[in-house]
Amino acid sequence: MYNFKVKSIIHDYEVAFIDNTKEVLKNELKEGDFIIIDNKIKELYKDELNDTLASFQHIGIDAAEPKKSYQGAMPVIQYLIENGFRKNHRLIAIGGGITQDVTAFMASILYRGVDWYFFPTSLLAQGDSCIGSKTSINFNEYKNLVGGFYPPNKIFINPDFLNTLSDAELKSGLGEMLHYFIVSSEEDFRRFKKDYPQALVDKKVLAGIIARSLEIKKSYIEIDEFDKKERQVFNYGHSFGHAIESLTNYRIPHGIAVSYGMDMSNFVSVKLGYIPQQVRNEVRELVEKIWEGTTITDIELNKFTSALSKDKKNIGKQLGLILNKGYGKIFKDLRPMDDEFVSWLQEYFDTQLQPQFA
C-alpha cells in the first residue's frame, strides 16, 4: 500500500500500511520489548492481540487526558524500571494519540532515549500525529505545553483498527486531517470535501485521505521538523481548538474542536480582509457537518481569552494566530489581544454558533 520513509534529524523512520497486525507483531517484536497498550484496544482486539500480550511484558493504560501528564507517566516508568526494561529494549505503543504521547515522552527520557514502535489505532493518530516527531504531555490544565521531538523508529498503520470507532471519533479524525488539505491547496480541499461523506463509510476512501494527509505533513516536517517556521501553519485552527478542548474539559473531541477553531480563524481572517466571505462559507459548509451534534455555547469569553493568552505559539503579549489568506496560503499572524479582537470573539460566540447553511 502506501509505504514511505520520513527523514528526521533525530533518526529516519518508516511508515508501513499493513493488513495483519498479529503477523507483523510476531515478525517484528523481540525479547525485551515492552508493550504499552490502551486498555480499550486490549479489550476490543483481544482475539488478535492475546498471543502477543501473553508472550511479551505489557502494561495497559487508560488513555484519558490525565494519563498524559507527569503524574500519569510516573507509575508507568516505575513499572518499566522495576520489571527489567533496559536501554537496549524497545517500547511498542498500541493505541491512539494519548498512548502515543505517553510512550514517546517516556521513550525520549528513559535512559536518555530508547527505540520505540507505534501501531496507531485511532484516526487522529493514523492520519496526523503518528509522524512529525512531537512528544507532548499536559501540565495541569494547559494542553501540550511540555515535551520535545522524538519520533518512533517504525510506524505500522492498519485501517482495520478504525472499524470500531464511533462516528464522533471518525469525524474528529477527519476534522483534524482537514486542516492539512486547506494548508496544501484548493485542489486538495475540494478533493477532501467531495470524499468526506464516503470516507465515513468506506475504509478504502478513508485510507486514501489518510495517505494524502501524511504526504502533505511529511513535505513540511522534513524541512521544519522542530516547528520553527514553515511547519507552524499546521497550527491552523489549533490555538482556538485547544482552548475549546480545555474549557469543555475535553467534552469536545480534538479534531472537532479544531474544526470550530478553523472556522474561528476564518472568521477573524474575514474581519481582517484576508479572505472573502465565500471562502469561509465553503469551509464552514464542511466543518458544520463535522461538529454537528456538539455545542460550545457554554464557554465564557473571559476564560477563552485567558486560555488563548497562554498558547505556546504566542510571542510576548502577541497572539501567534494561524490565519487564512486563501487555500494554500495559511500563515502566522502576530496580533494583540486588544479590544477589537476581543469584540470579534464576542461576536463569534454570540452570532456564529447556529447552523448557517441548513
C-alpha cell at 259: 474544526
The position carrying cell 512531537 is 134
Q: How far apart are CA 54 and CA 40, in angstroms?
A: 17
Q: In what order do the strands lie in the sheet with 4-6?
A: 4-6, 13-17, 154-157, 116-120, 91-95, 34-38, 57-61
| Residues 6 or more apart whose Cβ sits within 8 Å of residue 10 | 133, 149, 150, 151, 225
pLDDT value of position 311? 81
* CATH fold for domain 167-351: Dehydroquinate synthase-like, alpha domain (1.20.1090)
Exposed/middle/buried for residue 253 (C-beta within 10 Å: 0-12, 13-18, 19+): buried
Q: How far apart are CA 319 and CA 179, in angstroms?
A: 20
Q: How far apart are CA 293 and CA 252, in angstroms?
A: 10
pLDDT value of position 356? 62
Tell me the pTM.
Answer: 0.93
Residue ranges, comma separated, of all CATH 3.40.50.1970 domains in the chain are 4-163
pLDDT value of position 358? 42
The series of mean pLDDT values per 10 residues for the chain, 358 residues long, is 90 96 97 97 96 96 92 95 97 97 97 98 97 93 87 97 95 98 98 98 94 97 95 96 92 96 98 98 98 95 93 85 98 94 96 73
Q: How far apart are CA 31 and CA 55, in angstroms?
A: 9
DSSP 313: T
Residue ranges, comma separated, of all CATH 1.20.1090.10 domains in the chain are 167-351
Q: How far apart are CA 249 and CA 179, in angstroms?
A: 23
pLDDT value of position 20? 95
User: CATH second-level architecture of 4-163?
Assistant: 3-Layer(aba) Sandwich (3.40)
